[in-house]
Amino acid sequence: GDIGSDTIRNTARAVGGLNLPVLESFGLGCLGDIEGVPCAANPVASYGRMAERSPGKDTTTGHWEIAGLILDQPFPVYPKGFPQDLLAKFTSVIGREIIGNEVASGTEIIMRLGDEHVKTGKPIVYTSADSVFQIAAHEDVITVDELYKISAMARALLTG
């Protein structure tokens, strides 16, 4: 969960305080108790604390919201992997079978499936808690140029 998430406050606490004189002069310390960053008596800038309005929690949703686009619906997530019909289309257009199709971190799934990928040439497809379709491959097995082509094909299938 998100309980206790506060990147700057937790970072300041972890390193024994921050020294951010310019951000302090802007009013950063007025947003809350940030160790080492007091509230400026006369901030030279406007400051404020934002609250999420969009229902999604992924990076794209956050970036869009910062730019002013508030979503009504979150992007879909795939806690059990991607639908088989999507994967059938994907393997058809790339001309390769895949391995993976599960929720995992990139380092974890590469450690588990990397040897199989190298032996078979099958790219590793996985997702995370975000709405992402990720493809991992060793560049000696699938060249960077080919991986870009495969990624473009995935994008074409996944763009609604």
Confidence band (pLDDT; 50, 70, 90) for 94? Answer: very high
Q: Give the mean pLDDT of 109-123.
A: 98
What residue ranges do the domains of the chain occupy? 7-67, 84-157
Q: Tell me how far CA of residue 157 lies from CA of 89, 93, 151, 152, in angstroms.
A: 8, 9, 10, 9
In this predicted model, what pLDDT tens digit does every residue of 60-80 receive, in sequence order? 898 999 999 999 999 999 999
Residue 34 per-residue DSSP state: B
Q: What is the pLDDT of residues 10-58, one digit of tens each?
A: 999 999 999 999 999 999 999 999 999 999 999 999 999 888 899 987 8
CA-CA distances (angstroms) from residue 61 to 6, 15, 106, 134? 18, 30, 21, 17
Class of domain 84-157: alpha beta
> What is the pLDDT confidence band of residue 91, given thresholds at 50, 70 and 90?
very high
Paired tokens of 3: 């309980």
In terms of C-beta density within 10 A (0-12 exposed, 13-18 middle, 19 or more buried), how is residue 73 classed?
exposed
Q: Look at residue 102 in the predicted model and tell me its pLDDT.
A: 96
Token pair of 127, please? Answer: 């997702």
